[in-house]
Amino acid sequence: MDFKHFQTLVDNLFSYDDAGLVTRYQDVKPETLNPLVLAYIGDAYFNLYMRGRLLAFEQNKVQILHSFGAKMVSAKYQAVAYKEIEAELTELEQAVFKRGRNAKCNVPKSATVQEYRCSTGFEALLGFLYLKKDFARLTALVDKTFLITAQNLAKK
């Protein structure tokens, strides 16, 4: 997509009529969403969850919270945690993960291709569970991920 097309889409994202803001979609169907959109939602949820959990350990030093928060949500640590919970996933969860992992995206220099793809798949799974409103399963997975990541950080 060229910049002009992108800018047109951005300019027309929100529109109004006499009744107010016009929405384009009535429902969100996670099964049909682009896996990168699922990962976008999963990333936001995971960041907020992990940062919230860190408040049980530190409440005054923002620099420490930021430093640990950034590490805990990094592609590297997500990939490590995913490998430990992978066997516990249902077939549907594994399929959602694979859709996210295999989605075409640009890999940043801060992670290997394998780590980044794995973390994208994991975030897609979290986004899927969040949008399906399966909060019990979502919480179980991120709780376990937090513990795995904290243990790995404590070893360093």
CA 126, CA 133: separation in Å to the nearest integer? 11
Tokens representing 103 are 């989605």
Q: Enumerate domains of the chain plus CATH numbers.
A: 28-155 (1.10.1520.10)
47-82 pLDDT tens trace: 999 999 999 998 999 999 999 999 999 999 999 999
Band (pLDDT 50/70/90 cuts) for residue 156 is low
- Catalytic residue from among 17, 43, 134, 143: 43
| CA atoms within a 13 Å half-sphere pointing along the CA-CB vector of 75 | 17
Asked whether the predicted pLDDT for residue 148 surpasses 70, the reply is: yes
Instruction: Look at residue 5 in the predicted model and tell me its pLDDT.
Output: 84
Question: Is 43 a known active-site residue?
Answer: yes
Q: Is the pLDDT of residue 119 over 90?
A: yes
Mean pLDDT of the chain: 92
pLDDT digits (tens, 9 = 90+) for 81-105: 999 999 999 999 999 999 999 998 8
> Which parts of the chain are beta strand (E)?
15-17, 20-22
